[in-house]
Amino acid sequence: MTSRTRKNKARVLLALGKGIASSLAAELAMLFCHAGCEVKIALLDNGHEWVSESAIRQISGSAPLTATHRPGWFFSQQQFDLAIAVSPASLTQQLLQARLTSDPIIEFILKKSPMLWLLQDPGQIPAEHEDADNQLVFRALPAQPQQLSPFYQKIFAECIAWLAARRRLNRKTFWLNYQVPEPLKVIANNRPTWLARFDRALQGCGLGTSEDGIEADLVISAYDGPQFDADNRLVFVEPTLPERSKHSNGTLFVVFVAPEIDLNTLTADKNLFLVQRCNNALHVADSHGIRVIPDLTGQCCYTRFCSQLITHLSRATHGREQQS
């Protein structure tokens, strides 16, 4: 008889704190189980007062990780594909954000998962969370308990999409180059807020960072500020396009263009995207022309642009697999 166990199933770690959101998070765990994921559960901040251990055993098939009990899966060498923390206490959230590992459960979560979703009350979400650690994803819990079920369904769909994209990408990497002219480095911001947000969105999609731009699957030239001309004056010029001969045929290039340059005068193609930053939007030129990607409620333009880059890289990978 053939075993129905899937060796390549996604592993999800669910960490539950105190509150009604944690007590109703069993629905989220069951959604992942029904999707074929392996789910393990940890209890934070006296979470055992809100979630019964018997329910956890029925859903996940094993005992939860608590401050006083280390189940067998705690000692496994396997990594989790993602972790989700529901309603952690303020101090626990601070430890997770600062990556302080004084608590063994927090240390386990940070060590075993490359990405952590924090489902938290809106008042506990830091204002600058968009520019925080790129391995943390904050989502605001709804105010009313009856809204938790559709909220968990939305979180489940988002996480499944992230896992699917991560597997399709098959460890693809990006190289983000923001080269400020040497004379401007003393006064220019070498990592502006928008760049940090873009970097975070790229890693949040499952792309890894490359140590070498030549080997990267996605090469980004992000500096769109002024340059010095022959007379030592600051001017805005057309960007220098990458030398593609140094890269593989499937490499995707993204070049940011200064807002002062007319994007219609430049030529893009299927492997070269030209991007211009505008107020709360991006203008992106590719082989199909110029399109606008605006900010939307709950999703900034950089996150939406990264989704399109992921789609392009996934299609390129699928095309090469069919050819081979």
Domain of residue 95, CATH code: 3.40.50.1950
Q: Which domain covers residue 218, as residue numbers?
A: 173-323
Q: Which region, left, alpha or beta, applies to residue 170 given φ > 0 means left and ψ of -120 to 50 means alpha?
A: left
Same domain? For 238 and 162 the reply is no
Tell me how many domains the chain contains.
2
**Residue 272 lies inside a defined structural domain of this protein:** yes
The span from the CA of 49 to the CA of 47, in Å, is: 5
Same domain? For 203 and 288 the reply is yes
Same domain? For 206 and 219 the reply is yes
Question: Residue 4, class by beta-carbon neighbours within 10 Å (0-12 exposed, 13-18 middle, 19+ buried)?
Answer: exposed
Same domain? For 146 and 183 the reply is no
Give Cα 251 to chain centroid, integer Å.
21
**Residue 129 lies inside a defined structural domain of this protein:** yes
- pLDDT at position 63, please? 93
Same domain? For 132 and 178 the reply is no
Tokens linked to 247: 């890269």
- pLDDT at position 321, please? 46
Sheet holding 272-278, edge to edge: 208-209, 173-177, 218-221, 252-257, 272-278, 281-286, 289-294
**Residue 204 lies inside a defined structural domain of this protein:** yes
- Mark the ranges of the chain whose per-residue pLDDT is less than 50: 1-5, 131, 318-324
- pLDDT at position 35, please? 92
Query: By C-alpha distance, which of 164, 201, 156, 138 is closest to 29?
Result: 156
Same domain? For 111 and 129 the reply is yes
- pLDDT at position 300, please? 84
Contact 106, 139 (CB under 8 A): no
Same domain? For 205 and 226 the reply is yes
**Residue 163 lies inside a defined structural domain of this protein:** yes
Tokens linked to 141: 């819990």
The span from the CA of 287 to the CA of 183, in Å, is: 35
Same domain? For 146 and 78 the reply is yes
**Residue 195 lies inside a defined structural domain of this protein:** yes
Pairing of the two strands 173-177 and 116-120: unpaired
Tokens linked to 266: 């430049």
**Cβ atoms < 10 Å from Cβ of 217:** 22
Same domain? For 17 and 162 the reply is yes
**Residue 6 lies inside a defined structural domain of this protein:** no
**Residue 184 lies inside a defined structural domain of this protein:** yes
Domain boundary residue among 150, 169, 188?
169
Domain boundary residue among 169, 193, 225?
169
Same domain? For 303 and 230 the reply is yes
- Residue 15 β-bridge partners: 42, 85
Measured over the CA atoms of residue 148, residue 150, residue 156 and residue 161, the dihedral's sign is negative
**Residue 209 lies inside a defined structural domain of this protein:** yes
DSSP state of 78: P
- pLDDT at position 318, please? 47
- pLDDT at position 4, please? 39
User: What amino acid is encoded at 52 in this protein?
Assistant: S
Same domain? For 147 and 33 the reply is yes
Same domain? For 38 and 79 the reply is yes
The angle formed by the CA atoms of residues 243, 289 and 295, to the nearest 5 degrees, is 100
Give pLDDT tens digits for 83-142.
999 999 888 888 888 877 778 888 899 888 878 899 998 888 877 655 455 678 889 999
pTM score of the predicted model: 0.64
Domain boundary residue among 127, 145, 169?
169
